[in-house]
Amino acid sequence: MLRCVVVTIVLGLMWQAAPYEIVLQGGRVMDPETGLDAVRNVGISGGRIAAVSQEPLRGSTVLDAAGLVVAPGFIDLHSHGQDPENYRLKALDGVTTALELEI
């Protein structure tokens, strides 16, 4: 009987634990690889995207991303100012790759 109670308590604690470190809730998720462009919840664990879901996700930290774009990063194909300060500013805007291409 005691063993059954302990198992029930442990399972209950595991269920309550947040499965993701960070959840970005209700943001516009854009993924060019799959063509996804919709409002979703994103679960992040270990610095990696672990889940993209229409269903609510639980996380240790939940950030409201409503009205914001959630994407793995943007590429700026025509960028001037190839120096660390400009790279820092671009990163703040979500640009992960900056190129200076003249076509």
**Domain annotation covers residue 90:** yes
Residue-wise pLDDT tens digits, 21-34? 999 999 999 888 88
Q: Is the pLDDT of residue 81 over 80?
A: no
- SS3 for the chain, per residue? CHHHHHHHHHHHHHHHCCCEEEEEEEEEEEECCCCEEEEEEEEEECCEEEEEECCCCCEEEEEECCCCEECCCEEECECCCCCHHHHHHHHHCCEEEECECCC
pLDDT class of 97 with cuts at 50, 70, 90: confident
> Looking at residue 45, what is its pLDDT?
95
Model pTM greater than 0.85?
no
Q: What CATH number does the domain containing 67 carry?
A: 2.30.40.10
Q: What is the pLDDT of residues 34-77, one digit of tens each?
A: 899 999 999 999 989 999 999 999 999 999 999 999 887 888 88
Is there a single domain that holds both residue 96 and residue 85? Answer: yes
Q: How many domains does the chain have?
A: 2
**Shared-domain flag, residues 80 and 52:** no
Range of the domain at 43: 20-72
